[in-house]
Structure 1
């Protein structure tokens, strides 16, 4: 069963490869010929034929990687959908052509694609968006100094007139004229028509009308640019703005006699309704307003019919593509049936052996990978466990070291405190001894020395240094004590610090130069101030802070 499935896959691959070989025998000239036929069919409004031919050209270009031909096939397909008023589908093809141009082709193709997108937005009456794309095309053409600059400037000037920016339109045409005269002489008449429209918008009605009349005499170029009706519209609007309503109406009716398309008829009906309204001919004004409504309904019906027609065209196109693919497949099968069968058996056998071998190799490799992953995971766990134990040991050692260091420094502080106590006691003893000798009290020099000794008993700088060192050694203790017991004075805090250092009452009394009994009472008073229970020892309490 699996072998049969593999054989079908192999056969399909072979058919595709042989089809590609067949297409490679085709030439670029054949593809270009199809593109020309597709363009002509679009002009003839035979959209189904055009799309079928362009689909064939696109298939050839894709298979042979002919980027330029592929671009034109996609681009002309977009033109068909613009003509069929299917602007959403048209935009998809325009964007596809643009992306292809950006990635694979020269900047000139990118400009063509952007210009077509702008034309699409113009057809959809999204003039602001159209202007944005025309400007992009203009900037690229100007930077690259392309011959097509004049054509792009005509498009840009035209949309500026539509947006009622005649000054800007005139500037664009002035810039375009040298290029048009050199490379596109037959398009000069279109540029001059835009200048006439600009004059009309600026209120120069007589000038605009005279320019339009002169241009209509150049029948050949006017027909080439398909601008006869726009020129007649300029003439009608010029008479209307001047208040010559009869002449304006007569020329407008002349446009209708030329049997223009539905959009033009609608515009002309609107213009006639406005003309007759201004001339107070309300009967004709109402008549042509009704004509506007009828034209609008007819236009909507046409658009709805176009939607149906577009759907039908798409359906027929898909049928054509399917039939084209089927015919190609049959042709390939007919010409290469024998080689395909032989290749089928060889490739199927080779593929089967290769797949079985690959499965075995993959299974062995996966087994080795699994074993290595398990071993790695085991080693990682052992390493993590070892690191954890080492970190725990280091933490205990560091804790013990810090504890010993604190005890050592506290002993040094105690020794310093006791030294200060002994010094004070010695000074006190000397003062008592000297005070008993009355003869010596009359000695002025000796009296000064005694005064100096007494001042030593009142100096607190060394005690301040002691407290500073105590705070560095026992960080946070004094702050916590002050927070919990804000009523304690500075002397109370110093007394508590001595207790925290585990000094005896005798040692503290010696340091503070008070009696032992006074020291005990002070200790009891501080405990009471701290509101400690009777059964709680003050040293045990502060040691836990």
Structure 2
């Protein structure tokens, strides 16, 4: 049927065209999504993490809706990289694992290798060398299967570094030597492989050779700042001097490096080297001062981590608000579309009604039907509004739960820092007592011998542990009572060990506090897990976290 418009209809046509002009659709095409990822990565390198996470989250949302797997992988992997840079390793690991699953299902082996390497580096940062080796090996095997030369060299070198950290010098050397031919065409990566080989020499006991090679490398390096390889070589030189017994040079090198670096983590290592040097040269007052400096550096690091945790929570909150904003915008867009189509419907209905009135074809029944459809749309909009308010309340509840969880983690960190501080001081005092006890002149002095014995008995008391338990129970209400109820066979020593595991201390830290080796600590963890009859696929820390 052909409709002819006269001058009376021109107003309606103009309104319809105007309404269409109010809804320009911004195409969310592939190029736009890629540009968001590129901008997000650029912001991450500039340390603008909030901006980076906003851009990458938007790209991830679009990619997920459009099922663009590569863009989804890139956005997710780099969101994980942002959280890694912000020291929020738990959040980073979640995104890395999600990126890895996407790579496995939809992408090529190169994508798998990239995210596996990221996961391995994260575990290395947390001193979880076993997990780091596992993921570096997965990346290495994929590189081997695909004959990717540069990746084979890089991941073989990373494997060597991980085995170095575990003191498995023989296995480490095999991978390091394999990596060198693959990396010889890249000066920076080749230099890194040489530094890793020097560290292996030091671990293997070739102390003098390691120091000489480190000194030669340091003099000839083209880029000492790449991946801190210059700093790593200086630390090798200082440690080698200590092991060789050349204490004056060790002291001089350590103090020179201390003046150049501001990193709390590096300063902590240097303070420890100086403390060892002064103990070896029986300058116990200076040794104690630098041991205290180690504790201060640890507190500074803990403070930085707590500050980062606070910043991360702010970022998470802002990203949560940003996601909510995206959801609200999408809901608003849907609402506006509904209103648009409703307006079109009303205008069309109005035009039809006018036409029917003019032609005497309008019926009362059709008028009621149009009004009823309008009322249904209004009710649907009200229901959507109520749903949106309910979602906002749920988001607020989740944020409060996250805040309480982070507060508990911060209090446990403070408690573990205090325990480490007491353990460190007692260890140093014990070293001084042993040195004094071995002196023939002091052994002849009965008064001093009695006082040293009294001091030893004082160190063996459990007063500090009782105080620690009291503070631990204040922070973690009822944890020990629940543990004793569920596992009545646990001894007091088992509970003490479990408390340190629950505070997420590393094997190295627990071993230092209990004056045992890291290997003994790992075996004890296995024995306690078996005693508690934990499933094979459940770690002791994961189980304790669920109590």
Counterpart of 1:173? 176
Give, in angstroms, the shift of residue 213 of structure 1: 2.4
* Rounded Cα–Cα distance in structure 2 between residues aligned with 1:117 and 1:344: 57
Shift in CA distance, 66/288, structure 1 to aligned 2, threshold 3 Å: same
Counterpart of 1:163? 166
Task: Provide the secondary structure at the position in 1 that maps to 2:261.
Answer: coil
Assess if the C-alpha contact under 8 Å between 2:191 and 2:221 holds in 1: no
Q: CA offsets per residue over residues 96-124 of structure 1, 9 Å max, x none?
A: 11111111111221222221111111111
Counterpart of 1:200? 202
Which of these residues, 189, 192, 209, is aligned with residue 190 of structure 1?
192
Assess if the C-alpha contact under 8 Å between 1:236 and 1:252 holds in 2: yes
Structure 1 spans left out of the alignment, 5+ residues? 1-20, 353-545
* Rounded Cα–Cα distance in structure 1 between residues aligned with 2:34 and 2:70: 10
Counterpart of 1:107? 109
Q: CA offsets per residue over residues 213-271 of structure 1, 9 Å max, x none?
A: 23324554332333221111011111111111111111112222122422111111111
Counterpart of 1:296? 298
Counterpart of 1:321? 323
Shift in CA distance, 97/268, structure 1 to aligned 2, threshold 3 Å: same
* Rounded Cα–Cα distance in structure 2 between residues aligned with 1:87 and 1:171: 30
* Rounded Cα–Cα distance in structure 2 between residues aligned with 1:251 and 1:174: 29
Give, in angstroms, the shift of residue 341 of structure 1: 4.5
* Rounded Cα–Cα distance in structure 2 between residues aligned with 1:241 and 1:154: 25
Which of these residues, 144, 147, 150, is aligned with residue 146 of structure 2?
144
* Rounded Cα–Cα distance in structure 2 between residues aligned with 1:209 and 1:335: 72
Shift in CA distance, 256/40, structure 1 to aligned 2, threshold 3 Å: farther
Task: Provide the secondary structure at the position in 2 that maps to 1:227.
Answer: helix
Counterpart of 1:212? 214
Assess if the C-alpha contact under 8 Å between 1:98 and 1:113 holds in 2: yes
TM-score (normalised: structure 2): 0.56
Give, in angstroms, the shift of residue 344 of structure 1: 10
* Rounded Cα–Cα distance in structure 2 between residues aligned with 1:339 and 1:221: 64
Work out whether 1:248 is the aligned partner of 2:250: yes
* Rounded Cα–Cα distance in structure 2 between residues aligned with 1:290 and 1:73: 44
Task: Provide the secondary structure at the position in 2 that maps to 1:74.
Answer: helix
Which of these residues, 135, 159, 163, is aligned with residue 133 of structure 1?
135
Shift in CA distance, 122/22, structure 1 to aligned 2, threshold 3 Å: farther
Task: Provide the secondary structure at the position in 2 that maps to 1:145.
Answer: coil
Counterpart of 2:120? 118
Shift in CA distance, 74/218, structure 1 to aligned 2, threshold 3 Å: farther
* Rounded Cα–Cα distance in structure 2 between residues aligned with 1:343 and 1:87: 53
Shift in CA distance, 136/273, structure 1 to aligned 2, threshold 3 Å: same
Shift in CA distance, 121/344, structure 1 to aligned 2, threshold 3 Å: farther
The structure whose RCO (Cα within 8 Å, separation 6+) is larger is 1
Give, in angstroms, the shift of residue 92 of structure 1: 0.9
Counterpart of 1:49? 51
Q: CA offsets per residue over residues 335-355 of structure 1, 9 Å max, x none?
A: 885346447999x99xx9xxx
Assess if the C-alpha contact under 8 Å between 1:269 and 1:289 holds in 2: yes
Structure 1 or 2, whichever has the larger Rg, is 1
Task: Provide the secondary structure at the position in 1 that maps to 2:266.
Answer: helix
Assess if the C-alpha contact under 8 Å between 1:215 and 1:222 holds in 2: no
Task: Provide the secondary structure at the position in 2 that maps to 1:91.
Answer: helix
Assess if the C-alpha contact under 8 Å between 2:271 and 2:290 holds in 1: yes
Which of these residues, 91, 94, 97, is aligned with residue 92 of structure 1?
94
Give, in angstroms, the shift of residue 44 of structure 1: 3.0
* Rounded Cα–Cα distance in structure 1 between residues aligned with 2:347 and 2:160: 67
Structure 2 spans left out of the alignment, 5+ residues? 1-23, 349-368, 374-547
TM-score (normalised: structure 1): 0.56
* Rounded Cα–Cα distance in structure 1 between residues aligned with 2:220 and 2:69: 40
* Rounded Cα–Cα distance in structure 2 between residues aligned with 1:277 and 1:343: 88
